[in-house]
Amino acid sequence: MKAGWLAALALLTGCATVSSTANFLGTSNPVLLGPTDRVRSGAGPRLAATRLRGFETEAFHSFVQQANYGGVGLSSTTSYTTDLKLDAAAQGVLGLDRSLDIRVTDLNPKSRGNLMSLRVSVLVEGEVVRVGGAP
Amino acid sequence: MRLAPIAAVALLAAGCAGASSHVRADTARYPISLSGVVRDTNGDLAGGPQLQRVGAFSDSYTSWAMFWTLIPLWNRTRDVSEAVNQRVAAAGGDAVVNFTTVARPCISNVLTFIGLLPGCTDVEVSADIVRLVRPEAGGAASAAGGPGRPR
């Protein structure tokens, strides 16, 4: 029994090196953080924008460990997203429309864990807007 | 009766250590894009060969919380605006693209399996600082990706 706990601790120590990464490197439209919506606009007016819908996606890496009291020991389940998931989520709402942007309203990295499980994630919330030309 | 201590331990262990934070850029004077594409002065898409990489941006911090992550202690919010403004200006850039956020659980979370105690999350952000090469040629952005950051 003690060996099981030690094994769990050892495994989770290794688990502390897991990470979750959020970006949209394969997305064809801007995914903007902050108030500035175009190059060299300075403090000038923003592009006219119409909100179309909300947007939310998450990169995560989770690890859950279970004790097998049948004498086998411990088993673990790991699941995670790849960077393709975020691109797919963004491209799914943007399509091929070049007038759409995603404006991020919350970029939320977090981790939670206990002795038997761990979850690290980056939540991205925002809104899809249709932008007009420069004022 | 013997189950009570076991239940108490299980309850404590079921609590989570860790922390949550929010990355913001409320006063950034330059566009910051999580993709490799921004809009040029006219509002047209600019990406790929239209953007020249002139520098890199990075920042890292550790957010802390305790009491099953309910009480934030440090770095609940991280505003990167000033750092972005300074580094983009110093690099002579126009925008920040490929903004990437990486979260990692702190090693101490493993030891802090009782959620009452502090836990933390290490966060790293990185990005490319770019200059618009051909602002007059807007609208010809590449379909994907950005400068200097292979997928």
| CA distances to A27, A29, A37, B65, B125 from A90, in Å | 7, 9, 17, 31, 20
Question: Residue B23 in contact with residue A107, Cβ under 8 Å?
Answer: yes
- The token pair at B151 is 């997928």
How far is it, in rounded angstroms, from Cα B7 to Cα B10? 5
Question: Residue A119 in contact with residue A64, Cβ under 8 Å?
Answer: no
B117: confidence class by pLDDT, cuts 50, 70, 90: confident
Q: What is the percent of chain B with per-residue pLDDT over 70, rounded to a whole number?
A: 75
Q: What is the percent of chain B with per-residue pLDDT over 90, rounded to a whole number?
A: 55
How far is it, in rounded angstroms, from Cα B127 to Cα B147? 11
B104 pLDDT higher than 80: yes
Which residue, among B110, B114, B116, B132, would best test binding to A if mutated, counting the most A CBs under 10 Å from its CB? B110
Question: Residue A55 in contact with residue A93, Cβ under 8 Å?
Answer: yes
B68: confidence class by pLDDT, cuts 50, 70, 90: confident
A12 pLDDT higher than 60: no
Residues near A41 by beta carbon (within 8 Å), at least 6 away in sequence: A134, B31, B41
- The token pair at A33 is 């953080």
Chain A residue whose CA is closest to B123: A109
Question: Residue A120 in contact with residue A110, Cβ under 8 Å?
Answer: yes
> In this predicted model, what pLDDT tens digit does every residue of A56-99 receive, in sequence order?
999 999 888 777 666 566 777 888 787 778 999 999 999 999 99
Res B146: pLDDT: 42
Tell me which residue of B35, B4, B77, B67 sits closest to A94, measured CA to CA. Answer: B35
The β-bridge relationship of strands B37-39 and B119-132 is: unpaired
Chain A residue whose CA is closest to B147: A25
Res B130: pLDDT: 97
B151: confidence class by pLDDT, cuts 50, 70, 90: very low
Q: Note whether B43 contacts A: Cβ–Cβ < 8 A.
A: yes
Instruction: Give mean pLDDT, residues A26-42.
Output: 90
- Give the residues across from A125 on adjacent strands: A56, A106
Question: Residue B24 in contact with residue B81, Cβ under 8 Å?
Answer: yes
> In this predicted model, what pLDDT tens digit does every residue of A99-133 receive, in sequence order?
999 999 999 999 988 777 788 999 999 999 999 86
A18 pLDDT higher than 60: yes
In this prediction the pTM is 0.83
8 Å CB contact of B35 and A24 = yes
8 Å CB contact of B110 and A38 = no
> In this predicted model, what pLDDT tens digit does every residue of B83-103 receive, in sequence order?
999 999 999 999 999 999 999
Res B18: pLDDT: 85
Instruction: Give mean pLDDT, residues B10-15.
Output: 58
Question: Residue B121 in contact with residue A19, Cβ under 8 Å?
Answer: no
